[in-house]
Chains A and B, each alone.
Chain A
Amino acid sequence: MSVWSPPFTMLEIKNLHARIEDKQILRGIDLTVNAGEIHAIMGPNGSGKSTLASVLAGKKDYEVTEGSIELDGKDLLELEPDERAGEGIFLAFQYPVEIPGVNNTYFLRAALNAIRKYRGQPELSMSEFRKHMLAKAEMMELDSAMLSRAVNEGFSGGEKKRNEIFQMAVLEPKLCVLDETDSGLDIDALKIVSEGVNRMRSPERAVIVVTHYQRLLNYIVPDFVHVLMNGRIVKSGGRELALTLEEQGYGFLEGTPAGASA
């Protein structure tokens, strides 16, 4: 016998305004994401999708001028990027950064142990970590040679994106934010990356997929789709909204009043 329980709110964004230098980019975003859900954020270029992803992760270039972001009731805006990671946020970068001189394995172990330390958990030994990492590498069909290379250095575009999802699998975040993870991926890589994300689906975890195209959403099927234009969510709906956008483009939403939703 199952007992209905109200959905557990994980992320709560209210009236979020953000700018970079003098340019206002986000103009009042409201978004609620519950544990277990997948939300897609779509929108034309320059609508503020990537800004939203970066602001969630705490990128300093953006200044939040109004509004709030809470993760499990905790004010995220007060936290440094590393503390946000400790709270369970993971951003898969649109353009993963190359860090020559730092070996992938060392980097990931430093990251996982920093997060564990933040949560008051004991650090993993090298052998414990290796076991954990290799299992995830296998899941992501990652060539194990990549593990001993420098972080993202000399990786192809596809390898970098795959490496992002691999890192996500290793760090096991609560909230996964994928920023245009599909860009630059061929169909095979897209499938592998999507499968990796799907395998991580769980009732305790939420995913926000930021994308320009609906293609990725054939593989990572969202529960909700939000359309971002000019820094506001102008329309929200189910999966079918993505298909409508695919057919009609963003043009049909021009002039839609801010805050209007399905």
Chain B
Amino acid sequence: MPTSLLDHYELVKGLLSTYGPDHLAAMRDRSFGEFQKFGVPTQKDEEFKYLSLRALEDGGFQPAYGATVDRLDVEKTTLGLIEAATVTFVNGQHAPELVTQHKLPKGVFVGSIQDAYANFPDILTQHLGNIATLKGRLGSTNDERFVHLNTAYLGEGAFIYVPKGVSVEVPIHVQYLTKADHGPLVSHPRTLIVLDDHSDAKVIESYLGLQGVYFTNAVTEVYLGEDAILEHTKYQDETAESVFISNLSVHQSDSSTYTSNVANFGGHLVRNDLNVWLDGERTETWLNAASVGLDHQVVDNHTRLDHAKPNCNSFQVYKAILGDHAVGVFNGKIFVYEDAQKTDAKQTNQAILLSPTATINTKPQLEIFADDVKCTHGATVGQLREDAMFYLQSRGIPKAESQALLVYAFAAEVLEKITIPSVRTALEKVLYDKLGASEKLPHAE
């Protein structure tokens, strides 16, 4: 049993109870009880086979404390200051002083969950904690425990709401900054995004490490009403000493479109769970991810798509570049329920290994209970395209540079899905710099 993660609860429980209504306090207690039952998973647990979380028990992570962060620090992050309606948190605490206000369409909310309770109590009660759950789903797993841990410590968090029929042009940015300048800390960022019927928005969710050793345990819940469209970019660039665990759960209603673009570039131990519950017909889901693992990084991506209704399409492309002694994991589950006829699900997982000591573990898992469906999955490891190599070299680019360029392109292709130019450009640069440190990339300037 980990001691610190459990001990803290009694310590901060009183403080947490001042955030939000009583039923939230009851939910925290319930969740804490659930977490206590299972504790931190070990590698004997099938879902955590490749990820040792012993660091969580030995790491001495203290409850998050405040830190001084100014706008210059934000500018200096790899994402920089981007033009967006932003809500920022430092070590899990809301930091309104760090953002510039943007004019948003009437009824749109971008702010902290605590502030939102004044105006949106019903929406919060309806959705908070009810999307990040696998209750009633096919197949049993224990991977909800970090959601429970997050809910137990749910204090401040981000809330985004777009009312019916509203289209938000300006990007929305949820930014979690961590600066552990006084010893190891743990924070539990919580984000709830609700898009009402016929609305659309673009949201960037970033996790940026400024300093130190810490554990981020993030939970994000996304609810899409009928015909709602969300482009959701999640960018993780935590410090090289950090543990990053995140659970992203999405609920899609009829005819909604969800696009997830994930860029995993930082962290020491990284675990992402992405669960999409297709509870409407004619939905579309695009899951794109690019991960880079170097040194001794472990990047563990689990996805789960529940095709519960007919006529839904899902397309998944997960890519990883792994070098040095890095370990990559991809586990992609697709459940097609009995009623989900005419499902079209496509899953692709590709990895490039830059060194003989890097490894990738891939496990597609398709469970299909309907008969009229199209489900495909494919995994490839390694090889750069010969035709592209020859093409680049025939233009004068030497072999090593051509290889580096194709490795870069392999992941950059995922970033091309991001339609916010400033974000895409910033992430391309991060990718370029990360790979440029070990690979011979031609100058970009």
If A101-B411, A113-B442 are given as contacts, then 9 extra A-B residue pairs at C-beta distance below 8 Å, sorted by A number, are A59-B390, A81-B394, A82-B398, A85-B396, A99-B409, A100-B409, A101-B412, A102-B405, A115-B396
How far, in angstroms, from A212 to B399 measured CA to CA in the complex? 32
26 contacts between A and B (CB under 8 A): A58-B394, A59-B390, A60-B386, A80-B398, A82-B396, A82-B397, A85-B396, A86-B396, A97-B385, A99-B392, A99-B406, A100-B412, A101-B415, A102-B405, A102-B406, A102-B412, A107-B392, A107-B395, A108-B395, A109-B442, A111-B396, A113-B443, A114-B442, A123-B443, A150-B416, A167-B395
Give the number of chain A interface residues (Cβ < 8 Å). Answer: 36
Smallest CB–CB gap between B290 and chain A, Å?
10
How far, in angstroms, from A251 to B416 measured CA to CA in the complex? 50
**Nearest CB in chain B to that of A127: its residue:** B445
Answer yes or no: A8 CB below 8 A from chain B CBs. Answer: no
Answer yes or no: B153 CB below 8 A from chain A CBs. Answer: no
Interface residues of B (CB under 8 A from A): 385-388, 390-399, 401-402, 405-406, 408-413, 415-416, 442-445
The B interface is mostly helix, strand or loop, or mixed, namely helix
| A150 neighbours in B (Cβ, 8 Å) | 409, 413, 416
B396 lies within 8 A of A99 (CB): no
Total A-B contacts with CB atoms under 8 angstroms apart? 97
Interface hub of A85, A112, A150, A171 (most chain B Cβ within 10 A): A85
| A253 neighbours in B (Cβ, 8 Å) | none
How far, in angstroms, from A108 to B413 measured CA to CA in the complex? 18
**Nearest CB in chain B to that of A57: its residue:** B394
The 4 tightest CB contacts between A and B, nearest first, are A101-B409, A101-B412, A110-B442, A85-B396
Given contacts A101-B411, A113-B442, contact A85 B394 (CB under 8 A): yes
| B413 neighbours in A (Cβ, 8 Å) | 100-101, 150
Interface hub of A58, A81, A86, A109 (most chain B Cβ within 10 A): A81
Smallest CB–CB gap between B389 and chain A, Å?
9
| A96 neighbours in B (Cβ, 8 Å) | 391
Given contacts A110-B442, A113-B442, A114-B401, contact A99 B388 (CB under 8 A): yes
Answer yes or no: A91 CB below 8 A from chain B CBs. Answer: yes
A82 lies within 8 A of B393 (CB): yes
A110 lies within 8 A of B401 (CB): yes
The A interface is mostly helix, strand or loop, or mixed, namely helix
| A59 neighbours in B (Cβ, 8 Å) | 390, 394
| A110 neighbours in B (Cβ, 8 Å) | 397, 401, 405, 442-443
* B408 in complex: contacting residue of A81, A102, A108, A126, CB < 8 Å: A102
Given contacts A96-B391, A102-B405, A110-B443, contact A80 B397 (CB under 8 A): no
* B390 in complex: contacting residue of A60, A101, A111, A123, CB < 8 Å: A60
A68-105 residues at the B interface, CB under 8 angstroms: 80-82, 84-86, 90-91, 93, 96-97, 99-102
B393 lies within 8 A of A80 (CB): yes
How far, in angstroms, from A251 to B380 measured CA to CA in the complex? 47
How far, in angstroms, from A113 to B445 measured CA to CA in the complex? 13
Interface hub of B386, B388, B390, B402 (most chain A Cβ within 10 A): B390
How far, in angstroms, from A73 to B13 measured CA to CA in the complex? 83
Smallest CB–CB gap between B241 and chain A, Å?
30
| B412 neighbours in A (Cβ, 8 Å) | 100-102
How far, in angstroms, from A108 to B392 measured CA to CA in the complex? 10
How far, in angstroms, from A102 to B405 measured CA to CA in the complex? 8
A81 lies within 8 A of B393 (CB): yes
How far, in angstroms, from A136 to B392 measured CA to CA in the complex? 20
Smallest CB–CB gap between B67 and chain A, Å?
36
| A171 neighbours in B (Cβ, 8 Å) | 395-396
| A101 neighbours in B (Cβ, 8 Å) | 408-413, 415-416
A110-129 residues at the B interface, CB under 8 angstroms: 110-115, 118, 123, 125-126
**Nearest CB in chain A to that of B385: its residue:** A97
How far, in angstroms, from A125 to B445 measured CA to CA in the complex? 9
| B385 neighbours in A (Cβ, 8 Å) | 97
B409 lies within 8 A of A102 (CB): yes
Smallest CB–CB gap between A175 and chain B, Å?
13
How far, in angstroms, from A93 to B391 measured CA to CA in the complex? 8
| B393 neighbours in A (Cβ, 8 Å) | 58, 80-82, 85
Scan A133-162; emit 1 where CB is below 8 A from any B CB, else 0: 000000000000000001000000000000
| A109 neighbours in B (Cβ, 8 Å) | 442
| A57 neighbours in B (Cβ, 8 Å) | 390, 394
Smallest CB–CB gap between A235 and chain B, Å?
29
**Nearest CB in chain A to that of B410: its residue:** A101
| B402 neighbours in A (Cβ, 8 Å) | 82
How far, in angstroms, from A118 to B395 measured CA to CA in the complex? 12
